[in-house]
Structure 1
Amino acid sequence: MQKSSTGISAHPFLQNGFRPFFLLGALYSVTNLLIWGGFFAGHRPPPAFLLDPVSWHAHEMIFGFTIAIVAGFLLTAVANWTGRNPAGPMHLAGLSLLWLAGRVVMHFDLGLPEMAIFLVEGSFILALALTLSLPLLKSWNQRNFVFLVLLTILLACDMTFLVTKEFTSLYVAVMIVVAMISLIGGRVIPSFTVAALHQRGKKAKQVAQERLDISAILSLVLIILALVFTGPEGMFLAVVSFLSATLHALRMRHYHTHRILGDPMALILHIGYGWVIAGLILTGFSALGTLPFQISLHALTAGAIGSMTLGMMSRVPLAHTGRTVRATRLTILSFILLQGSALMRVLGPIMNPDNTVNWIMGSATLWAFCFAFYILAYAPILWKPELERRAA
């Protein structure tokens, strides 16, 4: 008979990286968007002691919400890739506290000097990268060293933005996350889709397209270079954005999207990837001056990042706790609300720019409800033991 333990290190919540970071990220997402929507509704503005409200919102959705979900995914994925758990329970608790400390110093004026705020905020990504590097280096998992590079660039973007307050660093950070989506999506979307089709008794196979995959990633590198050296406008950015959209669309032709429409858990990942293509196209048009860059930016953030993070946040906990990967009604509702939020934020200002403030408030509200429903559906799963342990 296995001896039970009541210590904090034995709690299921600290046994997998996705558990604390998916829940913390979802909770923070709801809080952030309610504050943001309330600000436009005339209520109390977001914290403004270090950053102005727009900068605070942009920074926290990337380096607060998104990085939490990235952390949860990578901590789980690296364990699978290497066969080594990157963070034990107390290590995971420490990482969670570092993330929370960053959110505290970005929300509350504690009288700290700016350098102290920067150090606290930057400590999480640094600790995460070091945590992931140990199992990757020990197993010499060269294929996934790229994620250490991407995390390092994200840390540099975070620190550069806090020091300079220039948005170019945030634009680069968004494209780094899009690169992660492109890289991971190119692996998991066809794999999950083919597996789902096989479960239905349908024939399907993955199509190797390594050169196209590499070309798509390199095209995003060109976009980053354009943003750094020319800003969010100009012919070069337009050309490489349209090129990147084309390459990503060509990849998708082998993803069996039309055959997976009845499976919400797979479809949400396809939709997220589709938002990448749409965002890149809109980036091309915004670079030509035909629409505001914020439109294309939110197609990539609210649309692509929002859909892909929610899709993985919904799939990973089920797959890693012995449950069937199937969308409940509440999960499907959260998927729908997310798409409504993204469409309202992107298309609303295009169709009726005079009501942009209302579109922002509506989008923020739908987003908050989306992740509130996610919490209702997944908090018990993230908190409780996996099914096999409960049955033992």
Structure 2
Amino acid sequence: MSTSAALRAGQPWPILAYAFRPFFLLAALYAPLALLPWVGGLLHQLSLPAAISPLLWHGHEMLFGFVTAALAGFLLTAVPSWARVEPLVGARLAGLVGLWLAGRAVFWLVGSLPPWLVVAVNLAFPLCVLAWVMPALLGAEGRRHLSLGVLAGLFVLAQLGFYLAWLGLMPGPLGSLDMLHLAANLLLVMIAVTASRIVRVISMVAVTTSGSQRPLRFTPAREHLAVTTLCLFVLADLLARGHPVSGWIALAAAAAQADRLSEWPWGRAMGRLYLLLLTLAYVWLMLGLALVGIAALSESLPAYAGRHLLFFGAVAGAVLAVFCIAGLRHTGRPLQLPRVIWLAMACLTMGTLLRSAVPLLWPQYYLVGGVLAPFLCWLLAFWLYVVSFGRMLLIARPDGLPG
């Protein structure tokens, strides 16, 4: 159905027919823009009013701008299916999109606005998302997925902690940077929890379409161990980042993720790009945790070793995978990704390697090889997604069904 036909039929514009449509598109468009002040500042080409440090601005917009839009699109699309409730569409969805855009605008103008206004506008968006999601997850149909709602709530609490520390109101020794680390680590747990729901479905499709004869078996105990060790890592990294105990817990979490990966359908089925995208994100998760653990136990690696693998590789890779998988399934299309997504995956992989390796191995090339080149890879990865999926997100489903 065309846009004009949808309006005549009293249906919302296709872009407002389901939450994944505007939020996936906006998150992908915004991902490179949110890096401009950070990269521009390092290259002495761009600066923002100094109400907040460039590092904290960068972390805030990556986590509470880019990722929060992606997370909202995912939750507001998945929860209606899980809990069997009506999705958020039309004018109410448009209002939520406007609230996210307002948050981005005030944070770009953070040096010119009252801090309370910046905080209020930026907290309003995730609180509205939670206010819609949690009642559905507390119902009989959605209760089995409540863990994701709890994690989303903790993520918002980390955002609140960031603002309290920024305003000098946070009691105790924790600061804004600690809250950014907490929020990023909570995303790792979300990836592990969400993988339990997605991998089963896409693995079955990949095995069937590839003709693989490998039987599928996913052991709940292994999945629970992977999630539990990640939760312990989140707690240890918050309370004692860099301590040997937190290092051992990070290594245990890495081993648990590797054990879980051993059950995924390796071989012919892994040639299916949708499965490879999510698997690669999980591999970055495992490797990033391992490097974080080694850095805490040895002086041979700096403290930040592994952190870029966790965000640039694991979190961004999982976001791109969900964008692609949900973008196809919820627009009524077969699970066959456009070929250009191979290039997007290659860009994200190259950016992850450069951002992580250059500062460690070739620090003299930090600005060009460790900042500018990864930024260009990041930009290409997400804007290639926009090029290949933008039209799908803007037009109605070809099968005429709602969504």
Q: 1:205 to 1:143 in 2, by over 3 A?
A: farther
Contact map agreement 1:242 1:280 (CA 8 A) in 2: yes
Distance of 1:158 and 1:7 partners within structure 2:
41
Distance of 2:278 and 2:5 partners within structure 1:
41
Distance of 1:158 and 1:319 partners within structure 2:
31
Deviation track 1:229-275 (CA, whole Å, cap 9, x = no partner) reads: 21x20111111000001111101111013333321121011000101
Contact map agreement 2:218 2:263 (CA 8 A) in 1: no
Say if 2:17 is the partner of 1:15.
yes
Residue 170 of structure 2 is matched in structure 1 by none
Distance of 2:178 and 2:10 partners within structure 1:
42
**SS in structure 1 at match of 2:400:** helix
Residue 381 of structure 1 is matched in structure 2 by 392
Distance of 1:321 and 1:181 partners within structure 2:
23
Shift of 1:216: 1.6
Moved over 4 A (4+): 1-4, 6-9
Q: 1:351 to 1:7 in 2, by over 3 A?
A: farther
Distance of 1:317 and 1:206 partners within structure 2:
25
Residue 227 of structure 1 is matched in structure 2 by 237
Residue 62 of structure 1 is matched in structure 2 by 63
Which segment is superposed worse, 152-161 or 301-310? Answer: 152-161
**SS in structure 1 at match of 2:34:** helix
Distance of 2:243 and 2:136 partners within structure 1:
42
Shift of 1:49: 4.0
Distance of 1:36 and 1:6 partners within structure 2:
45
Q: 1:351 to 1:84 in 2, by over 3 A?
A: same
Residue 164 of structure 2 is matched in structure 1 by 163
> Which of the numbers 21, 30, 33 marks the counterpart of 1:31?
33
Shift of 1:53: 0.9
Shift of 1:58: 1.1
Matches within 5 A, 1:264-283: 264-283=273-292
Matches within 5 A, 1:281-292: 281-288=290-297, 289-292=299-302
Deviation track 1:88-128 (CA, whole Å, cap 9, x = no partner) reads: 22221121111111111111147432222211111111111
Q: 1:281 to 1:8 in 2, by over 3 A?
A: farther
Contact map agreement 1:9 1:90 (CA 8 A) in 2: no
Report the residue type matching 1:54 in the other structure: L
Contact map agreement 2:119 2:163 (CA 8 A) in 1: yes
Distance of 1:163 and 1:299 partners within structure 2:
28
Shift of 1:134: 2.6
Shift of 1:31: 1.0
The unaligned stretches of length 5 or more in structure 2 are 167-174
Distance of 2:263 and 2:88 partners within structure 1:
36
Report the residue type matching 2:320 in the other structure: L
Report the residue type matching 1:301 in the other structure: F
Distance of 1:147 and 1:342 partners within structure 2:
26
Contact map agreement 1:198 1:204 (CA 8 A) in 2: no
> Which of the numbers 324, 342, 348 marks the counterpart of 2:334?
324
Residue 307 of structure 1 is matched in structure 2 by 317
Residue 351 of structure 1 is matched in structure 2 by 361
Contact map agreement 1:341 1:364 (CA 8 A) in 2: yes
Shift of 1:196: 1.3
Residue 53 of structure 1 is matched in structure 2 by 54
**SS in structure 1 at match of 2:305:** helix
Shift of 1:276: 0.6
Contact map agreement 2:202 2:274 (CA 8 A) in 1: no
Please give the TM-score of this superposition, normalised by the length of structure 1.
0.93
Shift of 1:194: 2.4
Deviation track 1:181-210 (CA, whole Å, cap 9, x = no partner) reads: 011113312431222111233334432321
Report the residue type matching 2:282 in the other structure: Y
Contact map agreement 1:23 1:382 (CA 8 A) in 2: yes
How well do the aligned residues superpose, as a CA RMSD in angstroms?
2.1
Contact map agreement 1:29 1:65 (CA 8 A) in 2: yes
Q: 1:59 to 1:262 in 2, by over 3 A?
A: same
Contact map agreement 1:86 1:134 (CA 8 A) in 2: no
Distance of 1:262 and 1:225 partners within structure 2:
36
Report how many residues are paired. 388
Q: 1:110 to 1:49 in 2, by over 3 A?
A: closer
Say if 2:155 is the partner of 1:144.
no
**SS in structure 2 at match of 1:10:** coil
Contact map agreement 2:254 2:286 (CA 8 A) in 1: yes
Q: 1:151 to 1:281 in 2, by over 3 A?
A: same
Identity over aligned pairs, percent:
28
Distance of 2:5 and 2:345 partners within structure 1:
41
Matches within 5 A, 1:235-250: 235-250=244-259
Report the residue type matching 1:50 in the other structure: A
Distance of 1:51 and 1:211 partners within structure 2:
44
Which segment is superposed worse, 210-219 or 69-78? Answer: 210-219
Contact map agreement 2:233 2:249 (CA 8 A) in 1: yes
Distance of 1:335 and 1:204 partners within structure 2:
26
Q: 1:129 to 1:86 in 2, by over 3 A?
A: farther
> Which of the numbers 5, 8, 12 marks the counterpart of 2:7?
5
**SS in structure 1 at match of 2:328:** helix
**SS in structure 2 at match of 1:256:** coil
**SS in structure 1 at match of 2:232:** helix
Shift of 1:8: 9.2
Contact map agreement 1:86 1:131 (CA 8 A) in 2: no
Which segment is superposed worse, 346-355 or 247-256? Answer: 346-355
